Amino acid sequence: MIALDFLAIVLVASLASLFMAWTIGAGSSGSTPFAPAAGANVISVMRAGFLVGILGFFGAVLQGANVAGTVGTGLVRGITLTPGAVAVGLFVAAALVSIGIFTGYPIPTGFTATGAVIGVGLALGGLPAWGNYQMIGSMWVLVPFVGSSVAYATARLLRDGRIPERVSVAVLAGLVGAIIANMSFVFLDNQSIATVGARWGPLSSLPGGEIVVTLALALLAGALVAWDMADADRGLRHFLLILGGLVAFSAGASQVGLAVGPLVPLVDRLPITLLALLVGGGIGLLAGSWMGAPRMIKALSQDYSSLGPRRSIAALVPSFALAQTAVLFGIPVSFNEIILSAIIGSGFAAGGKSSVSQSKMRNTVVAWVLSLTIAIAGSYGAYTVVTMLL
C-alpha cells in the first residue's frame, strides 16, 4: 500500500517534470532543429514549430531511454533520488530555462538539468560520480570545437566550385544514411537497423553484415538525393527539411531524459513503466514546441547568422551526428550548444566574423557557464531550505 503523502509528493514531482518538458520544448529541442531551415526561408516559423513538436515526441518515445537512465541514476552515487528532491531540482532547472525563453537567450537545458540533479543529489548526502562527470564534461567541451569545425568544413565543401554540388550533397546524404542505419530504437529492442538487418536472410551468413547494411542505406540515401538534385534548388530545400526533421527527432530523444530522468528511480516504487514516463515527457515537449518554440526559432534563425540553404545544411549535418552520439552513450547534452556551434561554424565559412553576432556569442557562452553553476548551487540551497522548513 502506497502512502498518500508519498503519492502527493510524487504528483508534485510529476508536475515539475511536465513543466521541465514544456520549457525544453519551448526552448532547446523545440527551437533549434528547424532554426537553420527557417533562417533560410525554406519553412515558416509557425510550421517549423508544429513539425518539431510531432517529431520530438516520437524521438522521445523511441530513443529517450538511454539519457533518462543516466540522468536518473548516473549523476550521484550512494543515494536514490526522492520525489521531493526531484521536484525541487526540476523546478529550479525549469525556472532557469524559462528565463532564457523570455529573454531570448537560449539557456542550455543539458547544463541546467544536469546541474540541478547533481545539486539535490549532493544535498541528499550523495557522492559525486566523477567517472560520469568526466565523460559528460568531455562531450560538453568537445561539442563546440567538433560541431563548428565540421560545419565549417562542410560549408566550404558546398561552396567549392571544383566539386559539383550534386555530388557533394549526395555524399552528405550518404553520411546521414549511415548514421540512420546505426540508430537504435525501442521497437527494435534498442538495437539498430544495421544490427537487425545483419541477421536477415542471406546477410546472416556473411561476415560484417552490419557494415553491409550501413553501406546499403548510405548508398540509397545518396542516390535518392542525387536524383532529387537534378533541380538544385528543389533538392537543397528537400534535403534541408529532411535534416531538420532528423535533428528534431534526435532533439526529442536526447532532451526528454532531462525532464523525466529524475523520475526513473521511482519506477520500481510505482505502478508505472519507463515507456509511460517517456510518453508523458514527449507530450510535454510537444506542448512546449507548439506554444513557445516560434519565439526561439526566430531568435536563432535571425540573430546568430544569416543562413542560406547550404550553410543551413552544413550546420545540421554535424548537429544530427553529435546528437545521435549523445543518445547512443546516454550523455545529457545541451541541444543549444550543439546547434549554435554548428551555426557559428557555417557562418564563419561564408563571411567570417561579419556574418556572426559577436556579442550574441559572448553573452550566450556566459549564460551557459552561469546556468550550470547556478543550477547546482540553487538546487542544493533550495532543497536544503525546503527540508529545514518541512
Question: Are 288 and 22 in contact, with CB atoms under 8 Å apart?
Answer: yes
Cα 183 to Cα 325: distance, rounded to the nearest angstrom:
9
Residues 264-303 have pLDDT tens digits of 988 877 778 889 999 999 999 999 888 877 766 766 666 5
Q: Where are the domains of the chain?
A: 4-389
- The SS3 call for residue 192 is strand
Count CB-CB contacts under 10 A for residue 290. 18
Tell me the per-residue pLDDT of 134-165, one tens digit each, with 9 for 90 and over: 999 999 989 989 999 999 999 988 888 788 99
**If we measure between CA atoms, which residue out of 390, 316, 315 comes closest to residue 350?**
315
Q: What angle do CA 367, 373, 375 make, to 5 degrees?
A: 95
Amino acid at 18: L
Entry field: residues in the chain: 390
**Regarding beta strands 184-185 and 191-192, do their DSSP bridges make them parallel or antiparallel, or are they unpaired?**
antiparallel
Reported as type and span, the H/E element at residue 127 is strand 127-128
Q: How much is the pTM?
A: 0.88
The pLDDT value recorded for residue 305 is 46
Give the E-state strand segments of 102-220 in sequence order.
127-128, 184-185, 191-192
Neighbours of 265 (CB within 10 A): 17
Q: Work out the number of other CB atoms within 10 angstroms of the CB of residue 311.
A: 29
**Grid cell for residue 87:** 521536484
Tell me how far apart the alpha carbons of residues 33 and 50 are, in angstroms, rounded to a whole number.
Answer: 12
What confidence score (pLDDT) does residue 354 get?
46
Q: How would you write the pLDDT of the chain (390 residues) with one tens digit per residue?
A: 556 667 777 888 888 888 888 888 876 565 667 776 776 677 777 788 788 889 999 999 999 999 999 999 999 999 988 888 988 998 898 888 777 767 766 677 888 999 999 999 999 999 999 999 999 999 998 998 999 999 999 998 888 878 899 999 999 999 999 999 999 998 888 889 999 888 877 777 667 789 999 999 999 999 999 999 989 888 998 998 999 899 999 999 999 999 999 989 888 777 788 899 999 999 999 998 888 777 667 666 665 445 678 888 898 999 999 999 999 999 999 887 888 788 888 877 766 554 555 666 677 777 778 888 999 999 999 999 988 887
Q: Are 31 and 297 in contact (CB under 8 A)?
A: yes
CA distance 361 to 144: 12
Rounded to whole angstroms, how far apart are CA atoms 45 and 132? 37
- Is 99 within 8 Å of 292 (Cβ atoms)? no
3-state secondary structure of 128: strand
First to last CA, the chain: 24
Q: What is the dihedral of CA 23, 243, 213, 191, to 10 degrees?
A: 0
Euclidean distance between CA atoms 359 and 234, whole angstroms: 35
